[in-house]
Amino acid sequence: MKVYQTNEIRNIVLMGGAKSGKTTLGEAMLFEGGVISRRGTVEDKNTVSDYREIELERQNSISSTVMYSEYEGKKINIIDAPGFDDFVGEVVAALKVCETAIMVINAQNGVEVGTEITWRYTTGNHSPVVFVVTQMDHEKANFDETLRQLKQYFGEKVIPVQYPINTGASFNTVIDVLKMKQIKFTSGSNKVEISDIPDSEKTKAESLHGKLMEAAAESDEKLMEKFFEAGSLSEEELLKGLKQSIIKRDVYPVLCLSAKQDTGVASFMQFVNDLLPAPDEVPAQKTTEGKEIKCSAKEPVSALVFKTSIEQHIGQVSFIKVFSGEITEGLDMVNVNTGSKERLSQLFAAAGKTRNKIEKIVAGDIAASIKLKDVHTNNTLSTSKTSGIEIAPIVYPEPKFRTAVRAKNQGDDEKLGGILRIVREEDPTVLYEQSAELRQLIIMGQGELQLTVLKWRIENLDKIEIEYFAPKIPYRETITKSAKSMYRHKKQSGGSGQFGEVYMMIEPYFEGKTDQKEFPIRGREEINLNWGGKLFFHNCIVGGAIDARFLPAILKGIMEKIEQGPLTGSYARDIVVSVYDGKMHPVDSNDISFRLAGRNAFKEAFKNAAPKILEPIYEVEVIMPSDRMGDVMTDLQGRRAIVLGMDSEGNYQKIRARVPLAEMNRYSTALSSVTSGRATYTMKFADYQHVPGDIQEQLLKAYEAEQKDEE
């Protein structure tokens, strides 16, 4: 395979809603470029892209697929990304390494949920966007309505480069307003008939051509001056200016085709070659220190592992984008993140599960390697430890759906943990933890569909039966006033006995609190609790009532109760404990006696100090179409949300609110239901707040019933 130079490379990601035709378009591009000799179909389950078992069963993409095509001396790297928001991690990673987003639109349905959602990620990433309207051969295809919707949702920057003369089964002719020609495609052949635009279409074509000309002129001051002076631009100037406008997101070109019939695909690939940016024509990627990485083969090597796949009979496959320098087969490299040495024993150009060996790739290109010993997604590879180049990592969205999971067969628990490690390697948006606090294995992800697919994978491929159930909420316990207590631990059963008596006072801690004045403080210990908050332990003993050697045992007893709060067994926090008196026995006092006395004294004081349960509060941002705002607001209010504000974001509305985690269970499913899937949201931990009194009563009763069941 030819070694392509940076200016001969185009990296595109196919995005859009599920069933929009992304996989079919990718298949047609590979066929058009000669990478495959026969086109597969989604229905026949033989496409290059959707080759995984779950994708074959569902007939839609679950994971992104890295592919490539070759067309007229250029290499087009293609990433087919899933259309569901639950798998947005694949979209985010693809946008990191692809210079242009190709938004695929189904001509029957127009702008769909997936179009809206994936568009937001291109906006956040400042990615150039091209709209490709597919399935023009369908009897219900409606290009004019689709174009109207695109302009409605994405503005007047949406400008057709082509529009069809006929749609439906007879679709074979378009007007190219960039070249100002009529193009007729011959079915089953690469040949096209190029002719002058018919008189009936000239006015429309000239109007659209003028808009493209204006967009091109606005990209550069010199072009603008010439356009005003001459009233037009040369073909070369038009292409140059339009490319810059695309890069700056000043224009969103629209093309039309039928990927299934391979009609117009070659024309689209020519457009990719001529008008979409090469890797060195867009703003440079940056290091973690904010320095720009020049995309040149002459620079030091920096490559990012942007995707990892674990495949049967092969093992780990690492997909790499070279941002600078060049890498060759057998090259010794350094993992900048870990310091470990790696050898790229093999390099491949990937086309789905088919991989073709290559010897070298240069800056801007994408390749795959296998069996790297200590390389993970988001790792930077370089040729030197001292290069100082660590590429700014892919920033994945925070999880917004959580569930508890367990193996139906307890003996499979350890195996389940190993499987989740592999899943996490392949999809960084899936997080999991064995929560010691909740005594549950918690899985977190982007939505219910993502975790449903994960369950299918574990049960069907890994052969482990699992079940999901509602996760517990990590409540906290604290106090709101001071209280005193005394506890005497006394036990005599022949021989040495046990004796320890402790007097203590507890108070709530808050920022800026001053020390209590009732008892002199002879020693203090400040403990930053692992779960948040603080514990202050004051030694206020006078006259040697309790020997100093027993104070660590008292603190240990207090910590035992802090770790399993008296109200619901949740962690306690933000408490000041002052031990001010007690008694000991010269023979029977020991560490265990004072540990038990300290624990029980703390428990009694806690219950008398107006205890409160704290619940985790999350900051939630919901983005939705304006017409769904009332439904979303009503639903949030039913979840005890406190609305912080509302803003406009383009054609969408954004609600910011604080919502208790306890009310967010299955929210992604509920939000999809009330907005017909047209909304998305993010959530991030904010702080802990007191639960309302009625809910505290419910929690106390539930915990009491749970304790009785365990007795």
The answer to whether the CB of 397 falls within 8 A of the CB of 89 is: yes
Q: What is the pLDDT of residue 268?
A: 96
* CA–CA separation, 598 and 506 (whole Å): 12
- Asked if the domains at 406-472 and 614-695 fall in one CATH topology, the answer is yes
Q: What is the pLDDT of residue 85?
A: 86
First to last CA, the chain: 71
CATH (one of 3.30.9.10, 3.40.50.720, 3.30.420.10, 3.30.70.240) for 614-695: 3.30.70.240
Q: What is the pLDDT of residue 387?
A: 64
* CA–CA separation, 268 and 266 (whole Å): 5
Identify the bridge partners of residue 9 per DSSP, sorted by sequence position: 75
Within 424-533, strands assigned E span 431-435, 440-445, 466-469, 476-479, 483-491, 498-508, 523-528
What is the DSSP track for 71-115?
A: ETTEEEEEEE--SSGGGHHHHHHHHHH-SEEEEEEETTTBS-HHH
Strands 285-286 and 158-160, by their bridges, are: unpaired
Q: Please give the class, per CATH, of domain 6-281.
A: alpha beta
- The third-level CATH classification (topology) of the domain covering 285-382 is Elongation Factor Tu (Ef-tu); domain 3 (2.40.30)
Say which CATH superfamily domain 406-472 falls into: Elongation Factor G (Translational Gtpase), domain 3 (3.30.70.870)
Q: What is the pLDDT of residue 386?
A: 64
Phi, psi values for residue 673, rounded to 5°: -65, -45
Q: In the CATH scheme, what architecture does the domain 477-609 have?
A: 2-Layer Sandwich (3.30)
Q: Provide the residue ranges of all domains of the chain, joining segments of one domain with +.
A: 6-281, 285-382, 406-472, 477-609, 614-695
The dihedral sign for the CA sequence 183, 185, 191, 193: negative
Q: What is the pLDDT of residue 192?
A: 86
Helix residue spans in 282-412 (DSSP H): none
* CA–CA separation, 684 and 672 (whole Å): 19
Q: Average pLDDT for consecutive 10-residue bins of the chain (711 residues)? A: 94 91 93 90 82 76 91 96 90 97 94 85 94 94 95 93 93 94 78 91 94 89 84 87 95 95 93 97 93 94 94 88 94 91 91 88 95 92 79 93 92 91 93 91 93 93 93 95 95 82 96 88 94 94 92 96 92 96 92 96 96 96 89 94 89 91 91 87 92 94 80 53
Burial (0-12, 13-18, 19+ Cβ within 10 Å), 289 = exposed
Q: What is the pLDDT of residue 709?
A: 67
The number of angstroms, rounded, from the C-alpha of 276 to the middle of its chain's C-alpha atoms is 26
* CA–CA separation, 323 and 303 (whole Å): 5
Q: What is the pLDDT of residue 188?
A: 56
Coil vs helix vs strand at 370:
strand
